Structure 1
């Protein structure tokens, strides 16, 4: 641990009491599976990030730098959100905004170096120029030798009024994504002419968040489509922000479940419009309720873990300091509605309520500190799943063979006893090391506790369990390289480069925390059969040598099966108009059979729980949970087509349905 712990806590082991004991330990009510065979992303050196802002007088101070270092922060963003689009680095001014003393770029860099963090610098798009940005690169990397690698062009520039809302400064006459993309090209050319080793980032929207999927007046596509199509060849990463909202803490804490679908959609957009893989950063996230109390802490741990597991290379909390808002009581504790990780030490207007002393850590800081112990540079996220919606589980495998499991109890009222099950890993006997942050605590506590197979989680808590392997590792085969796949509607032929001679390969499909073996082979390809049409699969390949030693998992491969070619029906689905939380869906149905249909039923299933049909037309629409049935008594002649439509609603990433049945037959999707 990097910190001095103020106190310790011992979690009770969950085991059956011996005969004659006075009381038995509680039985497990939650199952958690952890599978080292299900490999996810590797933790980047810049994984844990935080925002700094030039209106924060504590920016770069030794006290703050040391607190951030102690929490494991490895990237700091500057000069602060929307201020970036009014900030001029050379004279350290932000016309229309407040600039605190001692917050200039050199002061920021001194603090970053003391923290041990890389900078993420936002070049001024809204009121700046490509030359100004290039001069900043020259000063940073040539004059001062700061070796600042990551530079984003602007901040939330889709908020410039083009889609209606205007909070981001933008002096360009043309405020379209086309203009933003063209300017990104100019900035990238000018900045890389100074230092070709820097990485340039472009601003995108998070799938499922405004203005994702909205097509503005005069545009050919959405913001993401236009930017990626026009500037995708020159950028090195894309930058998104995520404030998912929620009217209650409980609703807020359901939002991390959207991460996997959101990242899938974002990568789909990148592949489709840029034609290549591009790295992803998440440089702002926070909650609407419980910003300084336990909901914010639980959200931070869940979101950082979820995003890093999906390959986002850095995740940043907004903000280090921010100041007091509306004071409320959340989960039994005072919440100051402060976006900051650390107290600003200020009071409300009439001085009736004051924050704790300056730089006192709020609850999310302690969650970030736990993340610093959990997700270390080079660790590999592995599969983890739970059967309880109120308990989240994440896991990593370290290079030395240790496995760390992060358990998040989102139940504010009750403890949950967890039975931990491991696949491809046997933990050592004895009591594991356990670090915990509980509701209202002012520090993370640590002590041996529970067992490798069972832990009891306090209400509204985060628990980190670190486990040694049962036996010292011996030289195992190297992990195979990332596989590729050729798919049909019901098969996938998965191929990979050879990892050496005399090996057998095992192909696993990820399935929560317990991967499913799809097959074994001594070759370098395997065909998985009996797959479901239109379903997303993620697989890993592992190598086993003649002594039975199993390699780490290959990098994950995600693919989606298609629909049958030449089916008796064809369905074409289109999203014809989208407004950010709803859309118009149009469905064209063609009867490819040789005979007419005397009445028909179209069926499909929403990919997520946050999508629904509001109303439909040209047929009778019925929904039950995620299942939708569209029926008509009208005849559909052989070779004939008909169309139906509906208004759809969504409150998360809008993953469109890809598989439709007509009278029970899977149709070809056009």
Structure 2
């Protein structure tokens, strides 16, 4: 690598596109990866259960002092019990799981002793599959009334969509009605019984993860998909939604799939708002990867996935799991991998005895990935927008209550070190930084002092910069999240509580890693005009007082403008039949104008890179890149005023199936119905 020197330039850009936000830039090596951190573009904040793990009652190490201390040292905040599908066969009072193995000293009190020693909190999955609402209510009474454990989060069952209703069955479910309606009706009963004991608890219902089986499926007799039915019935009485995520593929494939998280969580929120009619928290209570579970790819994936999920508002992310055991042996990145779901070694051997794991409780790389994440973000920190111009360098950043800023840099290239130059918008750091590094094959995270503006990322590495401000300054309090009270195709009115006396609010739009100031006001509303129809916008508020001091950013507001209020065409896309990774799309195209449209062509773009059109009918279909073009056939190429033509296609997807936002007929932006 070329050596380079860097100096810090603090530029006050009063008339810049960042609306007066200072930028700190590094004179850069031309070969360096350009990283931008925009401290004024706020994302979501970190809660007190953010970094979690799963415990299982078949793990004899559950709750032991050594394990509790290791989890404490890794910054684990939440521990889920009693472990995956065992949740639906476990009876807490007599500590039995008919049909499964229960290790000694893994009962609820032993579990809670480990949780308390680690300084965390519990997430408990009540038995839905073979249990009753009364059994769950009694557990709440024992935990919170008799023992005073203060368990806040209670799930109702585990992956109940896997009870055979959609053909595949791995989850115990003794109920005669295994439909989503059957589950949701009983979940509401569970929630009412448990909250009658302790009204302060929060109860979660199992949903399918957008883009993962059986998302989108509707079976005979159901009123809709699993999520639609569960949210419609149980949504009004529960407090959070439960998702699980196990992305698969090669190392390179898995590491790119964190890019799917924003769409995954956004679609889940849309379903919640539409069918539950209120906001619900989102908990991702199981996550793991198919590649490099015990080696560096797993560590990189864990850190990136946790940060991406948390900055998108998931309140807890729980790794599956603490111990599991070896499955197969391989060498990944030059180090042994046992395809073990656990964070810590079980000291097990393969069935033929040829390969054995390291000593019991030896941390695997993924353990250090979680530890790095906990050193990067802490309770109360607010994520801010960050990015890089190299797809193999992932970047996350967060502001701290003490005025500091932390930046997590992930080099996913297994072979090449990456020199990096960091630009800061809205934040002026001191020249030096604390540098935390975890590289391929390390057994611990190292700490050194380095530059805030330039560094070199080793291959396959995690690096966190912990920065302090060049000068301490206390600004106004951060504004609350704005709301969009009126949204049309070209305008939106935003509202918020009144700012403090003498302060004004600036309205900033996030555009990649850049903030664009839309305007400012001392009032409580702001209307932005000249927007683009069918477009998603994310905005923040910044408070500025009379001396020019600025606040942290508000939490973000994301809204979408509507399709054109007036157009000469309308399009309706219907998912006519879905099978989990593909579907039949039915498209109605209507001429809403006064003139006949001859030789029509409809065009739309897939919003993601994992969606495509496989075949189509009743028209000529073609896809180039992300763009699909549909041309009328001989028998329907002419559309009279008021006429509708129906065409269809087979679509495929390998992630969240995001519907296209814009349809254009002969170049005219159509209304979407």
Deviations 1:344-391 (A, max 9, x none): 011112221110000000000001111111110111111112221111
1:336: Cα distance to partner?
A: 0.3
Contact 1:27 1:417 in 2 (8 A): no
Task: Report what 1:655 is aligned to.
Answer: 658
Matched, 1:360 2:359: no
What are the superposed Cα offsets for residues 313-343 of structure 1, whole Å, 9 maximum, x if unpaired? 1100000000000111112211000000000
Report the equivalent of 2:497. Answer: 497
Once the two structures are TM-superposed, the CA of residue 401 in structure 1 deviates from its matched residue by: 0.9
Alignment of 1:187 with 2:187, yes or no, is: no
Cα deviation per residue 1:110-136 (whole Å; 9 max; x = unaligned)?
Answer: 000000111000100001111111111
> Contact 1:54–1:103 at 8 Å: present in 2 too?
yes
Secondary structure at the residue paired with 1:515?
Answer: strand
Task: Determine the structure 2 residue equivalent to 1:5.
Answer: none
Partners of 2:6 and 2:453 within 8 A in 1: no
Contact 1:498 1:524 in 2 (8 A): yes
Alignment map for 1:259-298 (pairs within 5 Å): 259-298=261-300
The alignment partner of 2:37 has SS state of strand
Secondary structure of 1:334's aligned partner: strand
Tell me which residue corresponds to 2:306: 304
Determine if the alignment matches structure 1 residue 646 to structure 2 residue 646.
no
Q: 2:476: which partner in 1?
A: 477
Q: Which residue number corresponds to residue 617 of structure 1?
A: 617
CA distance in 2, matches of 1:88, 1:480: 46
Report what 1:413 is aligned to. Answer: 415
Q: How does 1:44-193 map to 2 (within 5 A)?
A: 44-193=47-196
Structure 2 Cα separation of the partners of residues 264 and 240 of structure 1: 13
Unaligned residue ranges in structure 2 (runs of 5+):
8-26
How far apart, in 2, do the equivalents of 1:107 and 1:13 lie? 54
Corresponding residue for 1:522? 522
Native 8 Å contact 1:209 1:244 kept in 2:
no
Tell me which residue corresponds to 2:439: 438
Within the candidate set 234, 237, 240, 1:234 is matched to 237
- Superposed counterparts of 1:590-601, under 5 Å: 590-601=590-601
The equivalent of 1:8 in structure 2 is: none
| SS of residue in 2 equivalent to 1:232 | helix
- Whether the 8 Å contact between 1:36 and 1:424 is mirrored in structure 2 is yes
* Residues 126, 112 of structure 1: alpha-carbon distance in 2 compared, 3 angstrom cutoff: same
Match of 2:210?
207
Question: Which deviates the most, 140-149 or 43-52?
Answer: 140-149
Name the residue aligned to 2:458: 458
**What does residue 546 of structure 1 align with?**
546
1:478 and 1:499 in contact (8 A); partners too: no
How has the CA–CA distance of structure 1 residues 25 and 488 changed in structure 2, closer, same or farther, with 3 Å as cutoff?
Answer: closer
Shift of 1:200: 0.7
Using structure 1 for the length normalisation, give the TM-score: 0.95
Q: Contact between 1:125 and 1:154, CA under 8 Å: does it hold in 2?
A: yes
The reply on whether 1:506 has 2:506 as its aligned counterpart is: yes
Deviation, 1:625, is 1.4
CA distance in 2, matches of 1:69, 1:109: 14
> Is residue 32 from structure 1 mapped to residue 22 from structure 2 by the alignment?
no
Unaligned runs of 5+ in 1: 1-10, 18-23
**Within 5 Å, which residues of 2 pair with 1:570-589?**
570-589=570-589
Q: Is the 8 A contact 2:293 2:337 kept in 1?
A: yes
Q: Is the 8 A contact 2:534 2:564 kept in 1?
A: no
Q: Does 1:197 align with 2:200?
A: yes
CA RMSD of the aligned region, Å?
Answer: 1.5
Q: In the comparison of the two structures, how many residue pairs are matched?
A: 650
- Residue 12 of structure 1: CA displacement? 10
* Mapped contact 1:386–1:512 kept (Cα < 8 A): no
The Cα shift of 1:458 comes to 0.7
How far does residue 522 in structure 1 lie from its aligned partner after superposition?
3.4
2-structure distance, mates of 1:639, 1:347? 71
Partner of 1:167, secondary structure, is coil
Checking the alignment, whether the CA contact within 8 Å between 2:246 and 2:289 is kept in structure 1 is: yes
Following TM superposition, by how much is the alpha carbon of 1:530 offset from its aligned partner in structure 2, in angstroms? 2.9
CA offset digits 1:561-589 (Å, max 9, x no partner): 11112311111111111111111111101
Distance 1:12 1:525 in 2: 52
Distance 1:75 1:16, change over 3 A: closer
Structure 2 CA distance for aligned equivalents of residues 14 and 165 of structure 1 = 57
Matched, 1:313 2:303: no
Distance 1:461 1:514 in 2: 26
1:427 is matched with 429
Q: For residues 513-540 of structure 1, what are the alpha-carbon distances to aligned partners after superposition, in whole Å with 9 as ceiling and x for unaligned?
A: 2222222233332222332221211110
Q: In the aligned structure 1, how far is the partner of 2:501 from the partner of 2:219?
A: 56
CA contact (8 A) 1:493 1:525 kept: yes
Bigger shift: residues 651-660 or 24-33: 24-33
For the structure 1 residues 149 and 13, does the alpha-carbon distance in structure 2 shift closer, same or farther, using more than 3 Å as the test? farther
